[in-house]
Amino acid sequence: MTPPSEQAPCTPARERRVPGWLRRLAPQRSWIAQLAAFGAIGLCLIGAWTIVRDPFAPTGVAQGETVADAQQAQPPAPGGAADVEGEQTISAVDKKFVLWSVTNAGDDTLFGLGEGDCSGTPCPALVRSTDDGKTWTQMHTFSSADTSAATGATQPRVQPAGALSEVLFTSPTTGYVYGGDLWATHDGGRTFTHVEHPGSNVLDVVVHDKQTLALTASGCIQGTCSGRLEISRLGGGDTPRLAQTIAAATPTSQIDAADLVVGGDSLIVLAGNEPGSGDAPGAWRLAGDSLAPLNPGSACSGKPFSAIAGNGTNRLVAVCDEAVSAKTTSFTTVTSTDGGGTWQLLGTGNLSLPTQGGISLATSDGEHIVAASGGPRTAADATTRTSDDNPLRVSSDGGRSWSESSGGEDAPTGGMDDVRTLGQEFLALSRTDGELWRSSDRGGRWTHTSVAGHGG
């Protein structure tokens, strides 16, 4: 992407260094000019303090619920600097569109990000539905984004610099697309503003305590990150920016993914690595302005977490103690009722899934849980999968027992790339077919709809 031609003095830089304009203040300049410059510095410092002085005021918000006024900024004026993507013509969704990520914006509005077409070249495309997924239109394409690792049979979670692979909307108007970069919109996806951020990659964006938070990582290259993880609060204004880092931690080894998990008042960071590798990069819980290591203790026999899911309470459900075989992978299920402070065993090795890709976990209320394996990855042993290898498991008793989803349509043999909740409904994605899967009976029966070609 084209770098900004000019950066405002208050905009945080990726390196902590003295701005060039300040270094260029020569002694022979008039005292009036110097006084004005230092006055501007003072205003910037006051503004920065205002942004970060109370990052976690207790307010409570669910995805799709309107967030703080600071997030509801007006869009930038058209024709601005190079870090602004102007409005495009709303059009039909490309007939070969492949859905990568989906988000609930509230008021029956869904947004999706996936592989679209920019004059014959693959590019990230933002699509929108205002009728709960029945129909879709294309809102915006990002022709300058890096898609070198976003197509083909395998797509790493850690994308190259400049790539865009994920989407989160906090309301029908305000949202973010991210991956190897971060862009924000305040007009429902019509225009976007580039957001400066620490680190090299943005791994996740969530809403917590009515604040929009981003998880960034440093040292990312070729699908892995070796540097520290940082949580930053996203500020508002016509030029949104990530404020001073709230908390940070450094994994013990390279990671290929990291997520933010919201569970009531708790915010969890879970760093992952290749399934079956045995590495334990780390898990942490936000405690004030620091990240405290999250330890499952004896409940997981000293093994790391593989996935954690939360809901609107401090109840968390997790799976750990991964045991990989040629055809299946088993997990132990544990739970926490105090936001991750302590963990209790629910079942040793009681969850079994086809060995393919990673595992994703979602819960609507702490009792109803869906687990899925797979995604755009080959099986660990190159086993050919069939419809008998159901990648979806369901629990209705908080994770004490699991069963295969039954009825509905057969899930794709490549498995599910991601599973998440939409109220009491569950959504699942698979990049192998680029379609949206839904269950309205708490994960029992699944149907799928195609986003491609809508609006034509």
User: pLDDT higher for 16 or 378?
Assistant: 378
pTM: 0.80
Angstrom CA distances, 429 to 105, 288, 434, stand at: 17, 34, 7
Structure token pair of residue 398: 């908080």
Within the chain, all domains assigned CATH 2.130.10.10 are found at 258-456
Q: Among 2.40.128, 1.10.357, 2.30.30, 1.25.40, what is the CATH number of 59-250?
A: 2.40.128
Residue range(s) in the chain whose domain bears CATH number 2.40.128:
59-250
Question: 224: which residues sit within 8 A by CB, 6+ positions away?
Answer: 158, 254, 255, 256
pLDDT (tens digit per residue) in 99-124 = 999 999 999 999 999 999 999 999 99
Average pLDDT over all residues of the chain:
80
Alpha carbon distance 284, 56 (integer Å) = 17
Q: How confident is the model at residue 73 (pLDDT cuts 50, 70, 90)?
A: very low
Q: Is the pLDDT of residue 40 over 60?
A: no
Cα–Cα distance measured from residue 196 to residue 198, given in angstroms and rounded to the nearest whole number: 7
Task: Sort residue 341 into left (φ over 0), alpha (ψ -120 to 50) or beta.
Answer: alpha
Residues 6+ apart with CB under 8 A from 305: 270, 283, 294, 296, 318, 319, 320
CA distances from 56 to 53, 77, 289, 309 (A): 9, 31, 10, 21
- Write down the pLDDT at residue 134: 94
pLDDT over threshold 70, residue 78 = no
pLDDT of 30 over the 70 cut: no
191-203 confidence digits (pLDDT tens): 999 998 889 999 9
- Cα three-residue angle 112-415-147, rounded to 5 degrees: 45
Phi-psi region for residue 453, left (φ > 0), alpha (ψ -120 to 50) or beta? Answer: left
Tell me: pLDDT of 267 over 90.
Answer: yes
pLDDT of 410 strictly over 90 = no
CATH for the stretch 258-456 = 2.130.10.10
